[in-house]
Amino acid sequence: MRFSELGLRAAINDAVDALGYVEPTPIQEKAIPLILDGCDIIGSAQTGTGKTAAFSLPILSRLGPNGPGPRCLVLEPTRELAQQTYDNFLKFARYTQLRVGLIYGGVGYGPQREALARGVDVVVATPGRLLDHLGQGTLRLDRTKFVVLDEADRMLDMGFLPDVRRILLKCPKERQTLLFSATIPPALETLCAWALHDPVKVEIGARRAPAETVRHVLYPVALAQKQALLLALLEQIHWESVILFCRTKRSADEVVNVLKRAHHKAAVIHSDRSQKERQQALEGFKSGYYEVLVATDVAARGLDIADVSHVINYEVPEHPEDYVHRIGRTGRAQASGDAFTLMTAGDAPHVAGIERFISKKVDRVKLEGFDYQYTALFDEQRLGSLADRKTRGVRLGKGYFYGPARKR
The residues that touch ligand ADP, with contacts defined as CB under 6 A, are 21, 24-25, 28, 45, 47-53, 302, 304, 306
Q: Please say which residue, 27 or 266, places its beta carbon nearer to Mg ion.
A: 27
Among 51, 133, 216, 270, binds Mg ion (CB under 5 A): 51
Q: Please say which residue, 199 or 302, places its beta carbon nearer to Mg ion.
A: 302
CB 57 within 8 A of CB 216: no
Residue 50 interacting partner from ligand ADP, Mg ion, none (CB closer than 5 to 8 Å by kind): ligand ADP
> How many angstroms separate the Cα of 61 from the Cα of each of 58, 72, 73, 341?
5, 12, 15, 43
Least gap, CB of 27 to ligand ADP (angstroms):
7
User: How many other C-beta atoms are found inside a 10 Å radius of the C-beta of residue 264?
Assistant: 15
Instruction: Choose among 151, 137, 138: nearest CA to 112.
Output: 138
Instruction: Choose among 391, 42, 335, 379: nearest CA to 212.
Output: 335
Q: Return all residues near 272 (Cβ < 8 A) that are at least 6 apart.
A: 249
Query: How does 167-179 read in b/e, with b if 16+ C-beta sit within 10 Å?
Result: bbeebeeebbbbb
Least gap, CB of 332 to ligand ADP (angstroms):
8
Residue 40 interacting partner from Mg ion, ligand ADP, none (CB closer than 5 to 8 Å by kind): none
Instruction: Choose among 96, 157, 101: nearest CA to 129.
Output: 101
Least gap, CB of 310 to ligand ADP (angstroms):
19
Q: Please say which residue, 52 or 144, places its beta carbon nearer to Mg ion.
A: 52
- Interface with Mg ion includes 310 (CB under 5 A)? no
Least gap, CB of 150 to Mg ion (angstroms):
6
Residue 35 interacting partner from Mg ion, ligand ADP, none (CB closer than 5 to 8 Å by kind): none
Give the SS3 label for residue 4. Answer: helix
Least gap, CB of 26 to ligand ADP (angstroms):
10
**DSSP symbol at 374:** P
Least gap, CB of 46 to ligand ADP (angstroms):
7
Q: Please say which residue, 41 or 266, places its beta carbon nearer to Mg ion.
A: 41
Residue 275 interacting partner from ligand ADP, Mg ion, none (CB closer than 5 to 8 Å by kind): none
Residue 341 interacting partner from Mg ion, ligand ADP, none (CB closer than 5 to 8 Å by kind): none
Q: Return all residues near 344 (Cβ < 8 A) that are at least 6 apart.
A: 220, 221, 222, 223, 226, 375, 377
CA dihedral sign, ordered 317, 322, 326, 328: positive
Q: What gap in Å lies between CA 165 and CA 195, rounded to an integer?
A: 8
Residue nearest to Mg ion (CB): 51
Q: What is the CA radius of gyration of the chain?
A: 24
Q: Please say which residue, 232 or 243, places its beta carbon nearer to Mg ion.
A: 243
Least gap, CB of 309 to ligand ADP (angstroms):
17
CB 87 within 8 A of CB 137: no
Q: Please say which residue, 28 or 227, places its beta carbon nearer to ligand ADP.
A: 28
- Ramachandran sector of residue 210 (left: φ over 0; alpha: ψ -120 to 50; beta: rest): beta
Residue 78 interacting partner from ligand ADP, Mg ion, none (CB closer than 5 to 8 Å by kind): none
Q: Please say which residue, 301 or 366, places its beta carbon nearer to ligand ADP.
A: 301
Q: Please say which residue, 255 or 282, places its beta carbon nearer to ligand ADP.
A: 282
Number of residues that bind Mg ion (CB under 5 A): 2
Least gap, CB of 43 to ligand ADP (angstroms):
9
Angle between helices 110-118 and 127-136 (to 10 degrees): 70
Give the SS3 label for residue 248. Answer: coil
Give the CA count within 13 Å in the CB-facing half-sphere of 101.
28
Q: Please say which residue, 4 or 136, places its beta carbon nearer to ligand ADP.
A: 4
Q: Please say which residue, 25 or 375, places its beta carbon nearer to ligand ADP.
A: 25
Least gap, CB of 162 to ligand ADP (angstroms):
24
CB 183 within 8 A of CB 301: no
Residue 25 interacting partner from Mg ion, ligand ADP, none (CB closer than 5 to 8 Å by kind): ligand ADP
Residue 304 interacting partner from Mg ion, ligand ADP, none (CB closer than 5 to 8 Å by kind): ligand ADP
Site string for Mg ion, 284-303 (x = CB under 5 A): ------------------x-
Residues lying near Mg ion in the complex (CB under 5 A): 51, 302
